[in-house]
Structure 1
């Protein structure tokens, strides 16, 4: 899946609101190329040739899930986990991050219902809102 496909609705909304620079370029495009844009930049969403060039490149790149700093994830955050790459994702709630391993509460429980039993998983990602429901 390309960035243009993953971020389609956000790009459309930013174009409608005329906030393409703030909502797309500064948030996704520039960071993916290790670039930044200051808040006091004279950019007005249409004049910056280098930003436009980077945006064209970014749109056709393959989408990559952002790296998660698991040490900063709150307990009970919805996550998707699995132990094998070819397995399907399982809905769980984040328990802890310890020794490079993500732990989730067993059987979909939370810290409220099961504060002691958590299992480590080989693969984990934050659940998107629509996936968590």
Structure 2
């Protein structure tokens, strides 16, 4: 899966707002939301770097899941290319991620839990993806 496919929803949201695509700390953002000095595509002809990034294979950065607190919003990607909103419950010793079902939290749960594998789970908030990642990949520009 290419970066443009992985981030298609974020790209569409930015494009339909009338903004240009940029990337900050590994997360697609609107160009007008950041400065050129903080953009991962900064420099001359940044649009060429953007095009190169869009065509590269998406390489997920590792999240340090044990450091992510309970009730942090997550998104589970399903096999049919949809996503489910959830909140983190815990990470098992084998690396399986357990979430509260139906978007519930530790305060609102009725005891229903779901299991997911880390490759199918993303942190929902951009700031959490930056805060809890093991490495800062800068939009996989390596």
TM-score with structure 2 length normalisation?
0.52
User: How many Å separate the matches in 2 of 1:52 and 1:95?
Assistant: 41
Q: As a proportion of its length, which structure holds more helix?
A: 1
2:75 aligned residue: 80
The verdict on how the C-alpha distance between 1:72 and 1:115 changes in structure 2, with shifts beyond 3 A counting, is farther
Deviation (angstroms), 1:97: 1.4
Deviation (angstroms), 1:93: 0.8
Q: Radius of gyration: which is bigger?
A: 1
The verdict on how the C-alpha distance between 1:57 and 1:73 changes in structure 2, with shifts beyond 3 A counting, is farther
Matched length:
99
Residues 11-90 of structure 1 mapped to structure 2, 5 A cutoff: 11-14=31-34, 19-21=35-37, 23-24=38-39, 28-29=40-41, 52=43, 55=46, 58-60=49-51, 61-62=53-54, 64=58, 66-82=61-77, 84-90=78-84
The verdict on how the C-alpha distance between 1:55 and 1:100 changes in structure 2, with shifts beyond 3 A counting, is farther
Deviations 1:56-113 (A, max 9, x none): 553121274544222221211111114x432421111111112111111122221112
Any stretches of 5+ residues in structure 1 without a counterpart?
A: 30-50
The verdict on how the C-alpha distance between 1:71 and 1:89 changes in structure 2, with shifts beyond 3 A counting, is same
User: How many Å separate the matches in 1 of 2:88 and 2:31?
Assistant: 30
How much is the aligned-residue C-alpha RMSD, in angstroms?
A: 3.4
Residues 83-98 of structure 1 mapped to structure 2, 5 A cutoff: 84-98=78-92
Any stretches of 5+ residues in structure 2 without a counterpart?
A: 12-19, 127-142
Deviation (angstroms), 1:20: 1.5
User: How many Å separate the matches in 1 of 2:123 and 2:46?
Assistant: 26
The verdict on how the C-alpha distance between 1:93 and 1:85 changes in structure 2, with shifts beyond 3 A counting, is same
The verdict on how the C-alpha distance between 1:71 and 1:113 changes in structure 2, with shifts beyond 3 A counting, is same
1:114 aligns with 2:109: yes
1:124 aligned residue: 121
